Amino acid sequence: MPASTRHHRALAVFVHCLGILAAVPALPAAAPEASAAPRPPAATARPPAATSRPPDATARPPGGATRPSAAPTGVPTAAPARTAHPPVAVVAWMSAEPTPPSAPPAVAPPSRAPASAPPQQVTVAVAPESSPAPKYRIQVRNVGNAPVDTTVRQELPPGSSPTAISAGGRSTQAGGSSTEVTWRLRLPAHTSATLGTALATTAPGRPLTAPACAFTSDGTRPYDCATATWNAAAAPAAEVTDAPPWRRYPVLLAGLAVLLLISAALVWVWRRRRAGRVTATALASRGGPPDGGRGTIYPRPAAPGATRRPRTPPVWLLVGAAVAVLAGVVGTAGWTATRRVSAIDTQKQPTSGAWTGTGVTGPVGVPLRESAFEFTVYRMSCGAPGTAGGGDGGGAAPANGRRCQATVGVRNVTGDHQPWHGQLQRAYLPGGRWVSTDESATRAANLGRDIFADPMAAGSRMVLPLVFTVDGRDPPQQLELRSGVFSAGVRVHMP
Query: What does the pLDDT look like over 413-441, one tens digit per residue?
Result: 999 999 999 999 999 998 889 999 999 99
Q: Indicate whether 431 belongs to any domain.
A: yes
Quick: pLDDT tens for 350-371.
444 456 777 899 999 999 999 8
Domain harbouring 138, CATH code: 2.60.40.1510
pLDDT at 287 over 60: no
If asked whether residues 208 and 330 sit together in one domain, one would say no
Q: How many domains does the chain have?
A: 4
Answer whether 387's CB lies under 8 Å from 397's CB: yes
If asked whether residues 91 and 153 sit together in one domain, one would say no
Give per-residue burial for 166-203: e unless 16+ CB within 10 Å, then b.
eeebeeeebbeebbbbbbebebeeeeebebbbebebee
If asked whether residues 126 and 174 sit together in one domain, one would say yes
Domain harbouring 400, CATH code: 2.60.40.1240
If asked whether residues 372 and 466 sit together in one domain, one would say yes
If asked whether residues 23 and 134 sit together in one domain, one would say no
If asked whether residues 76 and 171 sit together in one domain, one would say no
* SS3 assignment, position 151: strand
The secondary structure of residue 307, as a DSSP letter, is P
Q: Indicate whether 186 belongs to any domain.
A: yes
**Calpha distance 202→161 (Å, rounded):** 9
Quick: pLDDT tens for 57-91.
344 444 444 444 444 444 444 444 444 444 444 44
Q: Indicate whether 180 belongs to any domain.
A: yes
* SS3 assignment, position 278: helix
* Residue 110: predicted pLDDT: 46
If asked whether residues 325 and 373 sit together in one domain, one would say no
If asked whether residues 381 and 426 sit together in one domain, one would say yes
Q: Indicate whether 103 belongs to any domain.
A: no
Q: Indicate whether 442 belongs to any domain.
A: yes
Burial label for 49, CB within 10 Å (0-12, 13-18, 19+), is exposed
For range 124-148, the mean pLDDT = 93
Answer whether 213's CB lies under 8 Å from 463's CB: yes
**Calpha distance 262→180 (Å, rounded):** 72
Integer angstrom CA distances of residue 206 from 133, 203, 229, 231: 11, 6, 10, 7
If asked whether residues 364 and 488 sit together in one domain, one would say yes
If asked whether residues 438 and 472 sit together in one domain, one would say yes
If asked whether residues 184 and 215 sit together in one domain, one would say yes
Q: What element of type H or E holds 232?
A: none
If asked whether residues 200 and 150 sit together in one domain, one would say yes
Q: Indicate whether 279 belongs to any domain.
A: no
Residue ending a domain, among 80, 95, 110, is 95
* Residue 113: predicted pLDDT: 59
Q: Indicate whether 468 belongs to any domain.
A: yes
For range 157-166, the mean pLDDT = 89
Q: Indicate whether 225 belongs to any domain.
A: yes
Range with the poorest average pLDDT among 149-163, 353-367, 377-391, 461-475: 377-391
Domain hosting 463: range is 360-493
